[in-house]
A and B are shown apart, each in its own frame.
Chain A
Amino acid sequence: MNATAQRPPALPARATAPRDSVRAWPLRDQVGYYLAWIAGLALLAIAGSIVAYMAYRGAQYFDLSLLLESPNAEIDQSASGGFKDPLIGTAMLLVMSTLIAAPLGVAIAVWLTEYGRPAGLARAVESAIEIVAGTPSIVLAMFGLILFQEWFGFLTFDAEGSTLGRSFIAAAAMMSLIALPLVVGATRESLNAIPRHVREASYALGKTKAATIRRVLLPAARPGIGTGTALGMGRVAGDTAIVVVLLGSTLQIINGTDGGVFGLFRGTGSTLTSYIYLNSPAGEGLAPEKAYFAAFVLMCLVIVLNFVVTRLARGRKPQWTR
């Protein structure tokens, strides 16, 4: 930038400001204009008040020790005990369901975009994924309960010898169904965005389709896969219905009888979401302060995940043209 005047000196000022006023419009149009403004500002106000209120309550009931203590065994939480176990539970579910949903989702997406024969089967698979995306999570939870109770009882928690159909594995399996459509969708979009000449170049070099997928396409689609996975994790972290049904209302993590890691997977426990639910008046409701702080922690987690998605999505448009 040079030090001389930026604006060309020969630009005389205008006599009047150009007229373009909303007040000259017909009344109907003015109403529409102001309604749009009201809607936009209301949106801002609602979001702002939710964030502000949760921050306020979070600060009010801020107690880091809660993150480190286990909850009491009783349902009544007002006495003492934190939510370390629910935190671990959330983390476990996130990891486990992602470990199931991500490979499955990528596999299905690859099959749909790169192979997809016969066409009827491909359409059926697509429809199935759409249906799962639209199914209420409570329905998935109920199905999971019966599934694990009657068929996969060996993967569930044994309470006094009778299978209840509940365990981390059961919950993670059903949660993965929630994340699956998001992973499939994002991966398909990424794969479809890769132009044909990339694949053709790879085939021309003598690589098989499988090798092309593994070495060329999937690495290129990585941001998209990441976005889909992060979106899925966001949904998993926020879901309560499946947790309440498939992990029950025990707040502490209780290992299954096998012991070790597998016992942990077979065990039950809680997550942040079910902890909040059970501590609110809808559950036993005697410790709303803890519910507030847990909600604050959960929102922070979700915001971080959201931020990750945004960052991943921004790097999502690679330059394919030369």
Chain B
Amino acid sequence: MFNPAAPGFWSDRRVERMLGAVACLVLLLIGGMIAFVFAKAWPSFAHNGLAWFGGGGDVDHQLEDIFNSPSNPSDYVYELHAWPLLWGTFVVTAGAVLIGIVFSLFAAIFIVEFAPPRLSRLLEPVVRLLAAVPSVVYGLIGILVIVPWVGEHLISLDRKESVANVIQLDGASLGVGIMILTIMIVPIMIAIVVDALRAVPRSWTEGASALGVNRWRVTWSIVVRTARPAVVAAAVLATARALGEAIMLSMVSGSASFAPNPIDGITFLFEPTRPLASALVENVEGLTVVPFGQTLFAFAAVLLVSSMFLSLAGFVAKQSMRRYGVQP
């Protein structure tokens, strides 16, 4: 009966069941992953309670202690106050997305409305190229070129001394992280916004021009306004990308799990930090030590919840985009 060569074997029902089974398998795998991450993460949250999200103490020291826990399960160390990591993640992500969305919007306006046609045609593959560059290459340029330059030329000795008792400033910093992360997420946003700007019907722009409104105003008041949902969708997508960036940030944003302090003024941008994803990459060898592994999975759980939430937000944003017939 189970003879693939026989005609009639591949009936519709059978094929449907097989394809469905494949789909279910993948669903189970992904569902299993989510459940697994949360299950493994639970002990770390349970032992720390809400203080897990708070501050206090040096995260690196706490991680070391967890790693060095005695092998007796009842003596496992779990204490962790992950605030510096959370704050670092938030500042890097928010900074890159905010700067990026403004930059991408204006660049997209340029590509669609104001660029000479040849320049516009050149910029499209340029954007695709930027999107394709691997994060490790960005990280390499960052760590070999930008970080040393910042360390030597932008951070004065006075500045270093002003915080020397708390943290070392060597160029690998929040500012460099935000800067390179912005460059990494801009191409995605530009691509989405350009498509949305182009989808605005020409009858509207022609009608507005015929009323004696200048080209900038026509673009801003009609085209950009109509493409607003796309800008939101682009921002959501870029945030998800920024959250998950581990390698580049671990190379350029600093080697200490420090919470940069806005009160320090400009120095704030020069302080090192370690976003969650980078913390994972740097500590992943210790995954086999039980309490340490569970702590790492707690980080992963926070990232997973954030990205799931962003997926939902992105889905909602894409729905409102469909109203104008723009393909996300």
Task: Check A-B contact in the complex, CB < 8 A.
Answer: yes
Q: Which residues of A line the B interface, CB within 8 A? A: 24-25, 29-30, 32-33, 35-40, 42-44, 46-47, 50-51, 53-54, 104, 107-108, 110-112, 115, 117, 121, 124-125, 127-143, 145-147, 149, 180, 208-211, 213, 234, 237-241, 244-245, 273, 276-277, 280-282, 288, 291-292, 295, 298-299, 302-303, 305-306, 310
A169 to B: closest C-beta gap in Å: 15
Q: Across the interface, do B107 and A146 meet the contact criterion of CB distance under 8 Å?
A: no
Q: Tell me the nearest residue of chain B to A112, going by C-beta.
A: B23
B210-233 residues at the A interface, CB under 8 angstroms: 214-217, 220
Chain B residues lying within 8 Å of A108, measured Cβ to Cβ, are: 19, 22-23, 26
14 A/B residue pairs, CB under 8 Å, sorted by A: A40-B111, A44-B126, A47-B127, A50-B133, A111-B22, A115-B16, A131-B311, A134-B308, A139-B280, A142-B297, A146-B293, A238-B135, A238-B136, A302-B134
Chain A residues lying within 8 Å of B251, measured Cβ to Cβ, are: 277, 280-282
Q: Across the interface, do B277 and A138 meet the contact criterion of CB distance under 8 Å?
A: yes
Q: Which of B34-42, B52-60, B62-70, B257-265 contacts A (4 or more CB under 8 A)?
A: B34-42
Given known A-B contacts A128-B27, A141-B284, A135 and B216 have beta carbons under 8 A apart: no
A136 partner, pick from B145, B214, B277, beta carbons under 8 A: B277
Q: Across the interface, do B281 and A138 meet the contact criterion of CB distance under 8 Å?
A: yes
Q: Across the interface, do A46 and B23 meet the contact criterion of CB distance under 8 Å?
A: no
Q: Across the interface, do B246 and A46 meet the contact criterion of CB distance under 8 Å?
A: no
Q: Across the interface, do B22 and A303 meet the contact criterion of CB distance under 8 Å?
A: no
10 smallest CB-CB distances across A and B, nearest first, come from A136-B244, A238-B134, A40-B110, A39-B106, A111-B19, A210-B15, A39-B107, A29-B216, A36-B110, A128-B30
Chain B residues lying within 8 Å of A40, measured Cβ to Cβ, are: 106-107, 110-111, 114-115, 119, 123
Chain A residues lying within 8 Å of B296, measured Cβ to Cβ, are: 142
Q: Across the interface, do B220 and A32 meet the contact criterion of CB distance under 8 Å?
A: yes
Q: Across the interface, do A209 and B141 meet the contact criterion of CB distance under 8 Å?
A: no
Q: Across the interface, do B133 and A280 meet the contact criterion of CB distance under 8 Å?
A: no
Q: Across the interface, do B247 and A302 meet the contact criterion of CB distance under 8 Å?
A: no
Given known A-B contacts A25-B216, A39-B103, A310-B125, A130 and B23 have beta carbons under 8 A apart: no
B130-186 residues at the A interface, CB under 8 angstroms: 130, 132-137, 139-141, 143-145, 183, 186
Q: Is B98 an interface residue (CB 8 A)?
A: no
Q: Tell me the nearest residue of chain A to B288, going by C-beta.
A: A149
Given known A-B contacts A135-B244, A295-B137, A208 and B12 have beta carbons under 8 A apart: yes
Q: Across the interface, do B140 and A280 meet the contact criterion of CB distance under 8 Å?
A: yes
Chain A residues lying within 8 Å of B113, measured Cβ to Cβ, are: 36
In the complex, A238→B141 CA distance in Å?
Answer: 15
Given known A-B contacts A240-B135, A281-B143, A46 and B110 have beta carbons under 8 A apart: no
Q: Across the interface, do B123 and A36 meet the contact criterion of CB distance under 8 Å?
A: no
Q: Is B121 an interface residue (CB 8 A)?
A: no
Q: Across the interface, do B20 and A111 meet the contact criterion of CB distance under 8 Å?
A: yes
In the complex, A237→B136 CA distance in Å?
Answer: 11
Chain B residues lying within 8 Å of A107, measured Cβ to Cβ, are: 19, 22-23
Q: Across the interface, do B37 and A143 meet the contact criterion of CB distance under 8 Å?
A: yes
Q: Across the interface, do A208 and B132 meet the contact criterion of CB distance under 8 Å?
A: no
B214 to A: closest C-beta gap in Å: 5
A1 to B: closest C-beta gap in Å: 23
B128 partner, pick from A25, A288, A306, beta carbons under 8 A: A306
Chain B residues lying within 8 Å of A121, measured Cβ to Cβ, are: 20, 23-24, 27
Q: Tell me the nearest residue of chain A to B19, going by C-beta.
A: A111
Q: Is B325 an interface residue (CB 8 A)?
A: no
In the complex, A211→B129 CA distance in Å?
Answer: 39
Given known A-B contacts A47-B126, A107-B22, A295 and B136 have beta carbons under 8 A apart: yes
Chain B residues lying within 8 Å of A132, measured Cβ to Cβ, are: 30
In the complex, A259→B50 CA distance in Å?
Answer: 51
Chain B residues lying within 8 Å of A47, measured Cβ to Cβ, are: 126-127, 129-130
Q: Which of B76-84, B198-206, B266-274, B299-307 contacts A (4 or more CB under 8 A)?
A: B299-307
In the complex, A93→B24 CA distance in Å?
Answer: 25
Chain A residues lying within 8 Å of B26, measured Cβ to Cβ, are: 104, 108, 125, 128-129, 180
A125-B24, A277-B247 are known contacts; what are 15 more A-B pairs with Cβ within 8 Å? A29-B214, A40-B119, A53-B141, A124-B27, A128-B27, A129-B26, A131-B34, A139-B244, A143-B300, A241-B246, A245-B284, A280-B143, A291-B144, A295-B136, A310-B128
B311 partner, pick from A134, A145, A209, A302, beta carbons under 8 A: A134
Chain A residues lying within 8 Å of B128, measured Cβ to Cβ, are: 306, 310
Q: Tell me the nearest residue of chain A to B106, going by C-beta.
A: A39
Q: Across the interface, do B287 and A241 meet the contact criterion of CB distance under 8 Å?
A: no
Q: Across the interface, do A239 and B246 meet the contact criterion of CB distance under 8 Å?
A: no
Q: Across the interface, do A146 and B134 meet the contact criterion of CB distance under 8 Å?
A: no
In the complex, A121→B183 CA distance in Å?
Answer: 38
Chain B residues lying within 8 Å of A147, measured Cβ to Cβ, are: 36
Chain A residues lying within 8 Å of B243, measured Cβ to Cβ, are: 136
B281 partner, pick from A24, A54, A115, A244, beta carbons under 8 A: A244
Q: Is B109 an interface residue (CB 8 A)?
A: yes
In the complex, A185→B303 CA distance in Å?
Answer: 23
Q: Is B33 an interface residue (CB 8 A)?
A: yes
Chain B residues lying within 8 Å of A137, measured Cβ to Cβ, are: 244, 246
Chain B residues lying within 8 Å of A299, measured Cβ to Cβ, are: 133-134, 137
Q: Is B310 an interface residue (CB 8 A)?
A: yes
Q: Tell me the nearest residue of chain B to A140, going by C-beta.
A: B33
Chain A residues lying within 8 Å of B115, measured Cβ to Cβ, are: 40
Q: Across the interface, do B284 and A295 meet the contact criterion of CB distance under 8 Å?
A: no
Chain A residues lying within 8 Å of B245, measured Cβ to Cβ, are: 136
In the complex, A280→B243 CA distance in Å?
Answer: 23
B286 to A: closest C-beta gap in Å: 11
In the complex, A46→B296 CA distance in Å?
Answer: 36
Chain B residues lying within 8 Å of A273, measured Cβ to Cβ, are: 134, 136
